[in-house]
Structure 1
Amino acid sequence: MVYIAEENRYSDMPYRRCGNSGLKLPAISLGLWQNFGANKPLQDSRDMLLRAFDLGITHFDLANNYGPPAGSAEETFGSVYRSDLSPYRDELLISTKAGYYMFPGPYGEWGSRKYLLSSLDRSLNRMGLDYVDIFYHHRPDPDTPLEETMGALDQAVRSGKALYAGLSNYGPEDTLRAYDILKSLGTPMVIHQPSYSMINRWIENGLHDVLREQGVGSIAFCPLGRGQLTGKYIDKIEAESKSGNSSMKPEAIEPARIAAFRKLEDIAKRRGQSLAQLALAWTLREGGVTSALIGASRVSQIEENVKCLEQGPLSEEELREIDSVSAVIKDIPW
């Protein structure tokens, strides 16, 4: 069946200007990190991508090593792009990254010019694209001069293989240095992609100020705390605490931590939201980030997450309550 996008796909999704640039991001973006690899049915990935676009999610975020196996998420996206989304290329915002381990040998990770530019070529080939909209350096490289890494991003943009340059996982000092280098080269840093959630607020210790002062946009990955800010997680840790034979870390199932999660869930219920929806609304609050980057393993999760936009903004009282509750929650992986 030939895919035809929903006519009203832009009616409900807000689009936010990315820093001082002309680029706009949907409030909710879709990341293809874990559930779009070759180990998943292609039809499931297709259903999620097309439903996301029908809901106004124009931004699809990838990286060279997403899968599993590495590279297969880009291949999956490329397959759906060729079969369904290619007529809408000018409506799509597609990003990819390089920086983490991708292939063996001395040129298969980190931040050298050789690795970044060859990785971008491979990504374009896997997706069947002439260019990506955003190309990120995925993590800082302690051994390669920052001038070389930023020079590679500049070359990617000047070659036409990327429209915008961005960073991910950089701290405030390195971000400011990278910003200055890119500015001197004439290729502005448009966006930063950090991890950020109610229970992981590290960007508030300097990075957020740097981005705001320099006019750089932001997109948060793991806004649901790697699944911790969901009812499923709360039920699991509560059950584990009662079992007497828990497989989780003791600090994960402390009574005070469970109680704090339940209080967040109560705040969400008062707003007519799930905890996940509350977490996304918090991430997107005024003074938060430009876009929240969600993951998904099924269509219903995308639909539920987008519904976070249906409620009004969080009140000052709700924000204060969330701050007081979330401050006692340690960010502990599953």
Structure 2
Amino acid sequence: MQSNGAYVADANRYDGMSYRRLGTSGLLLPEVSLGLWQNFGDDGPADRHRAIITHAFDRGVTHFDLANNYGNPAGSAESNFGVVLRGDLRHHRDELIISSKAGYRMWPGPYGEWGSRKYLVASLDQSLKRMGLDYVDVFYSHRFDPDTPLEETVTALADIVARGKALYVGVSNYDAKKTEEAIRLLKELRVPLAVHQPRYSMLDREPENGLLDVLGAGGVGCVCYSPLAQGLLTDRYLTGTPAGSRMSRADTLRPGVMNDALQNTLQGLDALARGRGQTLAQTALSWVLRDERVTSVIVGASSVKQFDDNLAALQGPAFGDDELARIDDLLSQAAGVEL
């Protein structure tokens, strides 16, 4: 809550949020987390950043997901989050779970991306400086590096924990086999793999092909990004490609993704969602959270209202077997969509 320009956290902020344990770790995460991949760069207004971040905290959202390359330009999301953290949330640091990642290109030359010790350590130091932090709660290897031994990557993660620059470590975008190997290597170093962050949605069910089983067996939490398939699983694309959308800009959605089969699937899912008393986006979030191995879903937001609309998914009804079967049938009609 903001009064006379000064932020005062809502005293009842934890009353309406549900939390799940992150694997077998000591962490509890809100079922919905705020991601700062889009909408929090220098191309957006600072007052909007502040409004969304503080409102999310007022709603019991304690987990804020970032990465070194988030924002436009890259790094600006961490810098802008740091402004809000130092200004409005400075007294609440110990209530927050702040995560960052490194893996994608951040600076020129051979040491500005992937998974080397050189890059991971340097990138985290830069992230901490941008946010004004001594440590992050979770630090991820953002993608598997095929040219660096996995032993080097995970040893760097373990050393980052030993140096007190992260409390927990995770991986993102690793396949099931490499995740299983990372779990084993980190266990040998006595630093458990706490979390995996895969892309998972109704339109991208790849984690069901072994990854979720590996995470469940290994006691690793699962925090899913892009549960709305970058906006496809909202009402924006039900009748076509709207002007200004990611698909129309060929930004992170390719225009060629949309076809008649996908359009019909989205419309069928929307009808099912309305029958549940939800929006398509709310049903899509509820669907990902139906699996108890999923700890949290990461959603972005361009406004407080949009964030609240997504958060309302937590009040939706449980799925019946007939609904799940109908969803599977609808999704089978759009099989082969490559996001």
**In the alignment, is the contact (CA less than 8 A) between 1:282 and 1:288 conserved in 2?**
no
Q: How does 1:255-274 map to 2 (within 5 A)?
A: 256-274=261-279
Task: Give ranges in structure 1 of 5+ residues lacking alignment.
Answer: 240-246
Structure 1 residue 155 and structure 2 residue 155: aligned? no
How has the CA–CA distance of structure 1 residues 158 and 108 changed in structure 2, closer, same or farther, with 3 Å as cutoff? same
Structure 1 position 90, deviation (Å): 0.7
Structure 1 residue 91 and structure 2 residue 95: aligned? yes
Note the aligned Cα RMSD (angstroms). 1.5
Structure 2 match to 1:289: 294
Structure 1 position 320, deviation (Å): 1.4
Q: How does 1:75-224 map to 2 (within 5 A)?
A: 75-224=79-228
How has the CA–CA distance of structure 1 residues 79 and 8 changed in structure 2, closer, same or farther, with 3 Å as cutoff? same
Structure 1 residue 57 and structure 2 residue 61: aligned? yes
Structure 1 residue 308 and structure 2 residue 313: aligned? yes
Q: How does 1:235-250 map to 2 (within 5 A)?
A: 235-237=239-241, 248-249=255-256
Structure 2 match to 1:27: 31
Structure 1 match to 2:7: 3
Separation (CA, whole Å) in 2 of partners of 1:140 and 1:55: 34
Separation (CA, whole Å) in 2 of partners of 1:98 and 1:258: 35
Separation (CA, whole Å) in 2 of partners of 1:280 and 1:162: 29
Separation (CA, whole Å) in 1 of partners of 2:186 and 2:11: 39
Task: Detail structure 1 runs of 4+ shifted over 6 Å in the superposition.
Answer: none
Provide TM-score, normalisation by structure 1. 0.94
**In the alignment, is the contact (CA less than 8 A) between 2:34 and 2:298 conserved in 1?**
yes
Structure 1 residue 68 and structure 2 residue 72: aligned? yes
Identity %: 53
Separation (CA, whole Å) in 2 of partners of 1:320 and 1:274: 19
Structure 1 position 236, deviation (Å): 2.0
Q: Secondary structure at the match of 1:226?
A: helix
Structure 1 position 53, deviation (Å): 0.7
**In the alignment, is the contact (CA less than 8 A) between 2:66 and 2:78 conserved in 1?**
yes
Structure 1 position 83, deviation (Å): 0.6
Separation (CA, whole Å) in 2 of partners of 1:307 and 1:272: 11
Provide TM-score, normalisation by structure 2. 0.93
**What residue identity is the alignment partner of 2:272?**
I
Structure 1 position 282, deviation (Å): 0.2
How many residues get paired? 324
Separation (CA, whole Å) in 1 of partners of 2:297 and 2:288: 7
